[in-house]
Structure 1
């Protein structure tokens, strides 16, 4: 009996010893100092790789995904490393296409599961435009991928300096997006990441991803006045006699009906800060949480409203965006968020089919802006909205909160019946609330005046039925 007990104990000790040795082996840090070494480990499982701090040039590739990280349960510590990616790679027709059916070019793709990449600074250099507008820096498609403390700086779109005035719907602009999270991605986390948009494109966007967390991330872009554009004596806009790709309203900027660019307007040179697409190839985008993030000087700040899924935005700050600060949709919840309205409405619930959104927002200093008098826009059914500010002087007296309006961003069906029905609005600011035709069953408490739109205002509203 004693011998049997000793044998069992000996066997258990051997098992524990082997497990300990395997654990030590899997957690041992592999220190490397070149891109060539880095590529040796990106398809391996259970590795912990640390790249020596320094500058690394990415000027060669075999595939349209220049670096493909396919390993599972691996950790890549790139703290202090700077990857400089030559834009010429995005224009290489000879690179091997991907087997997933998506023709996008990207610098780094992570398709492995339970993999973390931390600490990298990555930027593009050069001015060669890509072959298509789906260029991006990161493409995250694995399960439980974490991107942590990564900093991205994008350049390389062409023509640069005109933003969406020429770059929508298959236009001329070749984009350079930041970070994509796409199907079949699940449980992806972006933690403490920064994206500096110096190119046309979205900073962070989702397509068909599930259970995504975006936390402590920062996005910034650049704005430009149309006056500066109209002062050009050469270049892309000059060659087109300053006619945009279409007329009327373009993503927050008003041009003439015939497309002539007008003075006194402002554009974003990039697209959206954080944007959720409703799906990818039939796979729905679901359950996104955006927390403690900031977006500055983009077209739209945080855009969750396009899909049917209910998304949550908590403690986020948006400043100086041109189309809208927060684009809110069906079932979305904004908790303790804040935005200004210098160049576009602080938030909008623009869609007539949106239901049961909840908005808690503080209005930041919106003085000294340009080309905007809309503080907020509310359409749809069953929403609960709280609007407040720390200082009424932050909101110019010319601004208004409007219900049942075409004005501003987000109405795609010109034949829709505009309405705001069964809305609960608590307006703790002195801003005027205007109810346009279609506003019914409004439950409102307001420090500012509440009134019906005049006949002439309703006529102007009906005249804004162009796609927005």
Structure 2
């Protein structure tokens, strides 16, 4: 090949590279409004940036049919404001604020569900959106609402900041009902539902001011929740009881809970539900196929949950359950996973136990949790620093609290005195528990405990059978 041909070929290659580079750069599409955004939500392989600014969705938008997207999964019809149904696309909402008026919850029509965002496609990345429900905490959906629902496979929602508001009743937590049975009818509004396959929630913040779950999983296989911050609000049962004579919702039912007894004093309750929660049922759609199943193989990494009914609850998930680097602060209960691993995680005991187990059939949990100090009064009505029932658990409790409340106990077996179980005569069994209690919280081995062993830096009361838990003074470095 002579030099002229060689030079010509090089020029052709350079031109091709320039054209390819230009094409790649121009492939990013910038849109200036939600109306311009809508068509791209259904497309594959697009890269879309919405112009920074504040976009507000009003009741008039709903009445005028501006938002017409809907989905129907297992005969549950949902109205969706923004439906991401395309595949392999990226949507960048940096410096975008999406405001949804809470009045919208009251006018969305004859649907079973209302979603602000739903993803049904695959391999999408949606990032950096700030979305807020704007209005009253007392505006509520006719049935159920959720800010975000993830279906499909291998999607990632990253860098969102979500402020959830609007449910009924708000201000009592679960005291007057949470499911089918209730004293006061409930209209819930959750923040973030993860379904589908290998969906990933990363570095998202949820500020939760609604009765409903903050981040929960249904019909999800291999979900990954990473780097998220979740914050609810607490209220004491004493403060609720102070509504006597005011004509409030609680006053009208004479503070009779759905547990069939009057609301007790001395408990701190979240006004929301679960911080991070997995369910053993649900429906999802992947590639147009509907699946009815539970949650399996969840992973929770480096999250923080504050002021929720429960921090991380994975009891009803199956398969491999893994929690690492996660902190739970000021919740009614910290961690409860039934089986699986909790590694290098943290919780306090101010409003409830740092660790719990739901069922005596739960077995094989391995947990390493550091118990944190807290400021202010303890409002832990349960009396537990931890409650451990079931069998074959390996638990290490470390201490970052030099002066733990000696009225709080690490209970192995026995009662589980949450606000919802006070009327029951409980005595849950525990067996083959290995406990390394490196805190100074006292340990109570209930008379229904057996074959438990380990060491404790706190006092021990052994009323069980064949237990061998030895006191060991923990020396400071």
2:177 to 159, 167, 182: 167
Determine whether 1:209 maps to 2:209. no
* CA-to-aligned-CA distance 1:236-265 (integer Å, 9 cap, x gap): 112222222233xxxxxxxxxxx2123332
Where in structure 2 are the equivalents of 1:327-406 lying within 5 Å?
327-330=336-339, 332-366=340-374, 368-370=377-379, 371-393=381-403, 395-406=404-415
C-alpha deviations, 1:203-250, integer Å up to 9, x for none? Answer: 100011111111110000001112222222232112222222233xxx
1:93 to partner: Cα distance: 5.5
Q: 1:110 maps to which residue?
A: 119
State the SS of the aligned residue for 1:159. Answer: coil
The counterpart of 1:199, out of the listed 194, 203, 210, is 210
Residue 124 in structure 1 maps to residue 128 in structure 2: no
Q: Structure 2: which 5+ runs fail to align?
A: 62-66, 71-78, 284-291, 465-477
1-structure distance, mates of 2:450, 2:397? 20
In the alignment, the residues of structure 2 paired with residue 173 and residue 56 of structure 1 have an alpha-carbon distance, to the nearest angstrom, of 30
In the alignment, is residue 68 of structure 1 matched against residue 83 of structure 2?
yes
CA deviation vs aligned residue, 1:428-461 (integer Å, no higher than 9, x gap): 112221111331211211112222249xxxxxxx
CA distance in 2, matches of 1:355, 1:372: 23
CA pair 31-380 structure 1, distance change in 2 beyond 3 A: same
Asked whether 1:289 is paired with 2:303, we answer no
Deviations 1:132-190 (A, max 9, x none): 13x100000021111111011111111211121123123412111011011xx111111
- Equivalent residue number for residue 463 of structure 1: none
Helix, strand or coil at the partner of 2:247: coil
Written as runs of structure 1 = structure 2, the 5 A alignment for 1:4-403 is 17=16, 21=20, 24-25=23-24, 28-59=27-58, 60=61, 61-62=67-68, 63=70, 64-92=79-107, 94=109, 103-127=112-136, 128-133=139-144, 135-170=145-180, 171=182, 172-182=185-195, 185-232=196-243, 233-247=246-260, 259-281=261-283, 282-322=292-332, 324-330=333-339, 332-366=340-374, 368-370=377-379, 371-393=381-403, 395-403=404-412
Query: How far did 1:28 drift?
Result: 2.2
Equivalenced residue count is 425
* Aligned residue in 1 for 2:416: 407
Return closer, same or farther for 1:72/1:156 CA change in 2, 3 Å cut-off. same
Could you tell me how far 1:18 is from its partner in structure 2?
9.7
C-alpha contact 1:345 1:408 (8 A) present in aligned 2: no
Distance 1:242 1:272, change over 3 A: same
In the TM superposition, residue 26 of structure 1 has moved relative to its aligned partner by 8.1
Q: Distance in 1 between matches of 2:425 and 2:265?
A: 30
Contact 1:78–1:120, Cα closer than 8 Å, also in 2: yes
Unaligned stretches of 5+ residues in structure 1: 98-102, 248-258, 455-468
> Taking structure 2 as the reference length, what is the TM-score of the superposition?
0.82
Query: Secondary structure in 2 aligned to 1:80?
Result: strand
Q: CA deviation at 1:420?
A: 1.3
Give yes or no for contact 1:352–1:417 (8 Å, CA) kept in 2. no
Following the alignment from structure 1 to structure 2, what is the Cα–Cα distance between the partners of residues 70 and 92? Answer: 24
Per-residue CA deviations over 1:293-337 (Å, capped at 9, x if unaligned) read: 000000001111223333111011101111x1111212x200010
More moved, 154-163 vs 291-300: 154-163
1:121 aligns to what SS in structure 2? strand
Q: CA–CA distance in 2 between the matches of 1:278 and 1:173?
A: 22
Contact between 1:336 and 1:360, CA under 8 Å: does it hold in 2? Answer: yes
Q: Contact 1:291 / 1:315 at 8 angstroms: preserved in 2? A: yes
Cα distance in 2, alignment partners of residues 200 and 27 from structure 1:
44
- Per the TM alignment, residue 19 of structure 1 is displaced from its structure 2 partner at its CA by 12
For residues 48-91 of structure 1, what are the alpha-carbon distances to aligned partners after superposition, in whole Å with 9 as ceiling and x for unaligned?
11111111012232241121111111111101111111233333
Give the alignment's Cα RMSD to 1 decimal.
Answer: 2.8
CA distance in 1, matches of 2:272, 2:113: 19
